[in-house]
């Protein structure tokens, strides 16, 4: 197959504007996007990630092949696409994600009759190293909650909201998008349960403890009514303008609260989720239960937290055992 060089193919991120793809490739991207959203039920954020990777891949196809049609996409073009990115310093984790996006796309295209052979299964990258997530110690998490509670004592509605956000995140380990998607009716305070819509529109029920219940009670009784703009707004947590709370605001809340704790690692909402899972396991919870609480599709994802716990045990042993 003849190839052509171009300045575009040497750019570090190899992305071309979606609108600049040939019409046939653009139509394939549109159909793939509809498949991800409608048939697989993926979140808008996940769909954007898949589509962005596929646009990058097809942009490389346009720059590499004389005949820029989907039918010529083969394993050599896929490998060239990843190799070129690797040469420009793209991380192994990002390469693994992009390869997964490419395999998903080629599998769909093959089933849809757009490719005669699926090259995706032959595309491999070095396995992604799984880094141990940064987590708070239980005392650090408690200190962050206490600091937040002190800020809420004055009755400021934003401070009341922020304290309830922190308590609920740590109590349940929900994802930030799941927290922001909660409605008032999703909270069963009598039984201390929340109904969460997770990835793939999967619903689960997660319990929470008394501190979270108390903070939610104060937010609902003394804070929420001061921020809500429309009586019909169902969102549990609101922004300062009265609409549903934005995930970016939640990240700021968590960073500020944890940043006030001396010696605590810098973590955001996902770090608080890691911390909740780790503390559950350290307290004796079994993996299957933690998997259900966190909404993990597979137990393998949850097992990462056992490594965190083991690392903690090793550190304690090294610090305290006379023959460590």
Residue 168, both tokens? 């609920």
Same fold, 8-122 and 138-320: no
Mean pLDDT value of segment 184-189? 95
Q: Which of 199, 204, 226, 244 is catalytic?
A: 199
Which class does domain 8-122 fall in? Answer: mainly alpha
Q: Which of 128, 195, 270, 312 is catalytic?
A: 270
> pLDDT-derived band of residue 11, with 50, 70 and 90 as boundaries?
very low
- Chain centroid, CA 76 distance in Å: 31
Element (H, E) at 247: helix 247-259
DSSP codes joined into one string, 81-118: HHHHHHHTT--HHHHHHHHHHHHHHHHHHHHTTS-SS-
Q: Which fold has domain 138-320?
A: hpI Integrase; Chain A (1.10.443)
Q: Tell me the C-alpha distance between 140 and 262, whole Å.
A: 8
Q: Which of 35, 218, 224, 296 is catalytic?
A: 296
Q: Quick one: pLDDT at residue 62? A: 83
Please give the backbone phi and psi of residue 188, each rounded to the nearest 5 degrees, phi first.
Answer: -105, 95
Q: Tell me the C-alpha distance between 228 and 311, whole Å.
A: 45
- Tell me the per-residue pLDDT of 63-89, one tens digit each, with 9 for 90 and over: 876 677 888 899 988 999 988 888 888
Q: Is 270 a catalytic residue?
A: yes
> pLDDT-derived band of residue 202, with 50, 70 and 90 as boundaries?
confident
Q: Which of 60, 98, 218, 273 is catalytic?
A: 273
Q: Quick one: pLDDT at residue 69? A: 83
Q: Is 199 a catalytic residue?
A: yes
Q: Tell me the C-alpha distance between 296 and 43, whole Å.
A: 15
Q: Which of 35, 60, 98, 175 is catalytic?
A: 175
The strand pair at 193-197 and 203-207 is best described as: antiparallel
Q: Is 274 a catalytic residue?
A: no
Q: Tell me the C-alpha distance between 302 and 51, whole Å.
A: 27
Q: Quick one: pLDDT at residue 34? A: 93
Q: Is 40 a catalytic residue?
A: no
Q: Tell me the C-alpha distance between 103 and 113, whole Å.
A: 15
Q: Quick one: pLDDT at residue 8? A: 34
- Tell me the per-residue pLDDT of 124-147, one tens digit each, with 9 for 90 and over: 876 655 666 688 999 999 999 999
Q: Where along the chain do its domains lie?
A: 8-122, 138-320
Q: Quick one: pLDDT at residue 111? A: 94
Q: Tell me the C-alpha distance between 29 and 100, whole Å.
A: 16
Q: Quick one: pLDDT at residue 61? A: 86
- CA 287 → CA 20, 36, 294, 315, distances in Å? 48, 30, 10, 22
Mean pLDDT value of segment 163-181? 94
Mean pLDDT value of segment 278-297? 87
Place of tokens 């490389």: 60
Q: Quick one: pLDDT at residue 308? A: 72
């Amino acid at each position: 197959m003849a190839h052509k060089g171009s300045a575009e193919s040497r750019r570090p991120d190899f992305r071309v504007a979606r609108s600049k793809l040939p019409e046939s490739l653009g139509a394939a991207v549109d159909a793939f996007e509809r498949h991800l959203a409608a048939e697989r039920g993926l979140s808008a954020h996940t769909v954007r990630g898949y589509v962005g990777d596929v646009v990058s891949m097809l942009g490389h196809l346009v720059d590499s092949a004389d005949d820029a049609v989907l039918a010529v996409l083969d394993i050599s073009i896929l490998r060239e696409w990843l190799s070129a990115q690797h040469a420009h310093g793209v991380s192994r984790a990002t390469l693994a994600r992009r390869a997964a996006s490419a395999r998903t796309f080629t599998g769909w295209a093959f089933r849809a009759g757009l490719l005669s052979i699926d090259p995706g299964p032959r595309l491999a990258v070095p396995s992604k190293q799984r880094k141990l997530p940064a987590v708070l110690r239980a005392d650090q998490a408690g200190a962050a909650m206490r600091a937040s509670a002190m800020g809420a004592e004055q009755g400021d509605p934003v401070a009341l909201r922020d304290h309830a956000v922190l308590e609920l995140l740590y109590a349940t380990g929900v994802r930030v998008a799941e927290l922001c998607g909660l409605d008032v009716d999703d909270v069963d305070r009598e039984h201390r349960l929340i109904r969460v819509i997770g990835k793939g529109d999967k619903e689960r029920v997660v319990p929470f403890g008394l501190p979270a219940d108390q903070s939610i009670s104060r937010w609902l009784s003394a804070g929420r009514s001061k921020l809500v703009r429309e009586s019909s707004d169902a969102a549990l947590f609101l922004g300062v303008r009265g609409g549903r709370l934005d995930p970016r605001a939640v990240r700021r809340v968590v960073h500020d609260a944890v940043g006030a704790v001396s010696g605590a690692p810098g973590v955001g909402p996902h770090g608080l989720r890691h911390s909740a899972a780790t503390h559950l396991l350290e307290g004796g919870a079994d993996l299957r239960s933690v998997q259900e609480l966190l909404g993990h599709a597979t137990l393998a994802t949850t097992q990462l937290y056992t490594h965190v716990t083991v690392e903690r045990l090793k550190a304690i042993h090294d610090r305290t055992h006379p023959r460590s």
